[in-house]
């Protein structure tokens, strides 16, 4: 009861402060609001992105170019956040059980036809659908330059395809495709790929994540295409980590950290 009173007070105060501020906002949808067009006397960041990002990076999707290049440092840490969350969940939940027992259980539930006959339909459907999903995921990763999507979304979809397998059959079936050891490695490798692009730029004498400096490696005409290529590489790195961790989080949550059986 006390918490309800407290909640109401907190909500009332916060809400009234926020609502009080709303009237001062630039109107919704105003293209000339400071957020959209900057304040007079200083250059607007967002206008710069809209106008210059294609020139700088040759990537039509402005969001992708900002995400992976201009604010690539943020995105790297976003990936690190995912990685950290995965590690935190393993650290909290993972129960290191008896390995033989695990293996025995795995054998018991080896086949999806074993026991539960309802799973036949679901399982077969999933077997057909999953490759399509994975193909689409790869498309999303690769086509992030031109359409919505990118490493993160693609990675989630790819991870979701493993989750679907786990849901339709059982967790072991999915874990056979992406084992615990491998998803930790995959996650680490993903960030490693990301950071490697940055470090390479440093080695070539520029700042961290300055993809333009990678021009000699990609043998492109100008720094723009080098940036474009590097972004793809970086997105792939993100996709690796996200795939691995999304699946890993599910696997741990669904099996209470025992990594057997699942839901």
Partner 1 sequence: MVDQIPAVLVLAPLFGALLIGLIGHRDHRVCFPIALASLSVTFFGAIAAAQHVFTNGPMDYFVGGWEKPLGIGIHLRIDALNALLLIAIATVAVLVTFFSIRRVGEKNTEKTHYFYILFLLLCLGLFGITIAADAFNLFVLIEVSSLTSYGLIAMGSSRSGTYAAFNYVLMGTVGASFYLLGVGYLYLTTGSLNMQDIHTILGSNPEIAQSKAVTIAFIFILVGIWIKMAFFPLYGWLPNAYSYSPSSTACFLAPLMTKISVYVMIRVMISVFGLEWIFVSLGWSHLVVWLAVIAILAGSVLALAQREIKKMLCYLIVAEVGYMVGGAWLADEGLWGMTGALYHILADAAMTLCLFLAAGIFVKRFRAREISDLEGMFRKAPWVMAAFVIGALAMIGVPPTCGFFSKFYLIRGGLDAGHWEYVGALLISSLINAVLFFRIFEIAFFGNKPAEGHDHSHDPHETEELPVASNEAPPVWSGNLPLFATAVIIILLGIYNGPVVALIRTFLEELPIVASSL
Partner 2 sequence: MAEFIHDHIQPYFNYWVYVIIMMIGLWALIAKNNLIKKLIGLSIFQTAIILFYVSMGVKDGATIPILGHHGSSPPASEHRLFEDLDEEEPKKAHGKPVDHHAADDEHGEDHTHGHAGHHKTNPDLIANPLPHVLMLTAIVVGVATLGVALAISQMIFKEFGSLEEDEILEEIKASASDG
Partner 3 sequence: MIFAFDIIILVFLVVAALISLNVKDLLSASMIYGIYGFLICLLWAEMGAVDVAFTEASVGAGVSTVLLVATVFNTRRRSSD
- Applying CB under 8 A, which part among 25-33, 107-115, 129-137, 156-164 lies near partner 1? 25-33
> Which of partner 3, partner 1, partner 2, none lies near 72, with the C-beta cut-off 5 to 8 A by kind?
partner 1
- Distant-in-sequence, close-in-space partners of 231: CB < 8 Å, separation ≥ 6: 57, 59, 64, 65, 68, 69, 145, 211
Q: What is the 3-state secondary structure (H, E, C) of 127-168?
A: HHHHHHHHHHHHHHHHHHHCCCCCHHHHHHHHHHHHHHHHHH
23 binds partner 1 (CB under 8 A): yes
The residue from 63, 130, 142, 188 that contacts partner 3 (CB under 8 A) is 63
> Which of partner 1, partner 2, partner 3, none lies near 149, with the C-beta cut-off 5 to 8 A by kind?
partner 3
**Contact positions vs partner 2 (CB under 8 A):** 3-4, 6-8, 10-11, 14-15, 18-19, 22-23, 25, 27-33, 35-37, 45-47, 49-55, 58, 60-63, 66-67, 71, 74-75, 78, 81-82, 84-86, 88-89, 92-93, 146-148, 152, 249, 252-253, 256-257
Scored b (16 or more CB within 10 A) or e, 91-109 reads eebbeeeeeeebeebbeeb
- Applying CB under 8 A, which part among 28-36, 129-137, 157-165, 245-253 lies near partner 1? 28-36
3-state secondary structure of 173: helix
Give 143 or 177: the residue with its C-beta nearer to partner 3.
143
**CA-to-CA separations, 59 to 54, 55, 68, 232, in angstroms, rounded:** 5, 8, 11, 10
3-state secondary structure of 53: helix
Q: What is the dihedral of CA 159, 84, 196, 78, to 10 degrees?
A: 80
- Applying CB under 8 A, which part among 22-30, 138-146, 149-157, 170-178 lies near partner 1? 22-30
State which of positions 44-63 bind partner 1 (CB under 8 A): 44-46, 48-49
Q: How far is C-alpha 68 from the geometric centre of its chain's CA atoms?
A: 12
Residues in the chain: 263
The residue from 72, 123, 150, 233 that contacts partner 1 (CB under 8 A) is 72
Instruction: For residue 43, report the phi and psi dihedrals to the nearest 5 degrees.
Output: -80, 135
Give 19 or 181: the residue with its C-beta nearer to partner 2.
19
249 binds partner 3 (CB under 8 A): yes
195 binds partner 1 (CB under 8 A): yes
**CA-CA distance, 247 to 7, in Å (whole number)?**
35
73 binds partner 1 (CB under 8 A): yes
Catalog residues that contact partner 3 under the rule CB under 8 A.
Answer: 29, 61, 63-64, 67, 140, 148-150, 152-153, 156-157, 159-160, 163, 167, 246, 249-250, 253-254, 256, 263
């Amino acid at each position: 009861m006390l918490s309800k009173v407290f909640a109401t007070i907190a909500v009332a105060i916060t809400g009234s402060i926020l609502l009080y501020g709303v009237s001062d906002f630039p109107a919704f949808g105003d293209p000339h609001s400071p957020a959209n067009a900057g304040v007079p006397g200083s250059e607007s960041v967002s206008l710069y992105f809209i106008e210059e990002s294609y020139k700088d990076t040759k990537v039509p999707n402005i969001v992708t170019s900002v995400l992976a290049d201009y604010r690539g440092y943020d995105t790297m840490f976003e990936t690190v956040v995912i990685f950290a969350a995965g590690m935190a969940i393993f650290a909290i939940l993972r129960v290191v059980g008896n390995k033989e027992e695990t293996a025995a259980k795995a054998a018991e539930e080896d086949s999806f036809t074993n026991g539960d006959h309802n799973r036949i339909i679901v399982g077969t459907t999933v077997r057909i659908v999953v490759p399509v999903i994975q193909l689409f995921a790869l498309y999303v990763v690769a086509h992030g330059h031109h359409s919505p999507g990118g490493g993160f979304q693609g990675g989630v979809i790819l991870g979701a395809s493993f989750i679907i397998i786990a849901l339709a059959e059982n967790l072991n079936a999915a874990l056979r495709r992406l084992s615990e050891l491998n998803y930790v490695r995959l996650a680490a490798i993903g960030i490693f790929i990301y950071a490697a692009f940055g470090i390479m730029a440093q080695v070539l004498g520029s700042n961290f994540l300055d993809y333009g400096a990678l021009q000699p490696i990609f043998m492109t005409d100008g720094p723009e295409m080098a940036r474009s290529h590097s972004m793809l590489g970086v997105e792939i790195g993100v996709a690796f980590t996200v795939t691995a961790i999304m699946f890993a989080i599910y696997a741990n949550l669904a099996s209470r950290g025992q990594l057997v059986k699942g839901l």
